[in-house]
Amino acid sequence: MRGRGKAMVASAVGVAAALTATAGGPAARAVGLAGAAPARAHVQTVCTVGVVRCASMVRTDLTVPGAQSSHGGYGPVDLLSAYKLPASGGAGRTVAIVDAYDDPNAEADLAVYRSYYGLAPCTTANGCFRKVNQSGQQGSYPRADAQWSQEISLDLDMVSATCGDCHILLVEANSADEASTQNDTTSDLGASVNTAASLGAVAISNSYGSVWAGEPDERSLDHFYDHPGVAVTASAGDSGYGVSYPASSPFVTAVGGTALVQDTTPRGWSETVWGSGPFSQVPQIGGGTGSGCSSFEPKPAWQLDSGCAQRTVTDVAAVADPNTGVAAYDSYGGFGWLVFGGTSVSSPIVASVFALAGHAGGATDPRPLPYQHPTALFDVTSGSDASVPASCGPAYLCNGEPGYDGPTGLGTPNGIGAF
């Protein structure tokens, strides 16, 4: 696959052994994406504790592949090709990543990723990278966490892959345990979103969501995500059909997930809803993009679908299936190069496209933009995120269909025109 040959390095530490020891994943052979009937990947959820969890999954069936591997995860060239994005742009604009806890190796690991793919350095010293705590301070961070460090590395790498000229702000929340009861008005992650906005981010990615059994009424937290003129994105979740927060907030752009495969079509790529088809994790582990109709949040004026009187999730989408996953580098705990999926991949990609498109905050509200330019998106018309595709109603809430649908919204980026 184009741009894939260097996605892994043979000198990386023993990923499979580390995953087996720390994440319960079996070490197995490298699995490629080519071929008529590829085996389903072995996948481990990254964040396994807490009320709010990161929305990422890591492949555990891969050894440490080198250039000879048939599967190294998609890299920047692949993503720019798949979504018809320019290779430059976004200079001086800041994309913020909000995650919980500390990744002590964040800047060093970002340097490995960017160097490997030939991207310009993005460091504290040259002003491109900045890491702060939820109060906006540098040098004093929350406790380190090996699970969230993988999420942080993934997010930073996806910004780099999509908008290599953008500045990156990492805001580390004290914890992920917001909303321990319904209607809780405190949130470390929410406070971190406020900090990102106050420090000048034009786009803020939130790759996490609540894991309540059913969507809680978290409208008391909406004010944290209400930043006029700032593109705030949120992952739709990785548990298949169903709504999580903050993706259900009307103040964010909710980002769903797809399976992305290179092919011989004029585009050169094709996509289906993540959750069905030959690359599916459903029903094996319940994986798939979230979608649905909110029970609590009001419908934004620009959402015109008729089968949900409240807020519909999602708005847009990008790659998220771990079987068609992306490469990222995280060394905290000794992992090194990994292949990730989950809507934690798609949220920072879309946030970065907003920045790449020239969205720089101010009076323009970014949330309606995709709805105003639907022809500048790749429509995803097949697949389902429900383990039983007929189990949702109306059907578009869990099935890919022409035009708007729940799992992928209006579609995936086709250049920057919709952003």
Q: Residue 359's domain spans which residues?
A: 75-326+340-413
Contact 133, 142 (CB under 8 A): yes
What pLDDT was estimated at residue 24?
Answer: 30
Q: Based on the structure, what is the number of domains in the chain?
A: 1
Within a 10 A sphere around the Cβ of 78, how many other Cβ atoms?
A: 23
Quote the radius of gyration of the chain (alpha carbons, Å). 19
In a domain, residue 42? The reply is: no
Residue type present at position 79: L
Long-range contacts of 105-111 (CB under 8 A, 24+ apart): 105/149, 105/153, 105/330, 105/331, 105/332, 106/131, 106/149, 106/152, 106/153, 106/156, 106/170, 107/131, 108/331, 109/153, 109/156, 109/329, 109/330, 109/331, 109/332, 110/153, 110/156, 110/157, 110/160, 110/168
Asked if residue 283 has a cis previous peptide bond (ω within 30° of 0), the answer is yes
CA dihedral 122, 123, 129, 131 (to 10 degrees): 150
In a domain, residue 349? The reply is: yes
CA dihedral 191, 192, 196, 197 (to 10 degrees): -20
Rounded Cα distance between 97 and 4, Å, is: 25
Q: For the domain that residue 149 is a member of, what is the CATH number?
A: 3.40.50.200
- Please provide the distance, in angstroms rounded to a whole number, between the alpha carbons at the two ends of the chain: 28
Rounded Cα distance between 345 and 82, Å, is: 14
CA distances, 367 to each of 31, 125, 219 (Å)? 38, 33, 18
In a domain, residue 12? The reply is: no
In a domain, residue 41? The reply is: no
Residue numbers of the chain with a pLDDT score lower than 50? 1-38, 64-71, 179-181, 183, 213, 278-279, 281-285
Sorted by sequence, the CB contacts under 8 Å of residue 125 that are 6+ apart come out as none
In a domain, residue 101? The reply is: yes
Rounded Cα distance between 192 and 201, Å, is: 12
In a domain, residue 17? The reply is: no
Q: Measuring CA to CA, which residue among 143, 203, 205, 202 is closest to residue 177?
A: 143
Within a 10 A sphere around the Cβ of 76, how many other Cβ atoms?
A: 26
In a domain, residue 3? The reply is: no
CA angle at 250 for the pair 170 and 348, rounded to the nearest 5°: 30
In a domain, residue 49? The reply is: no
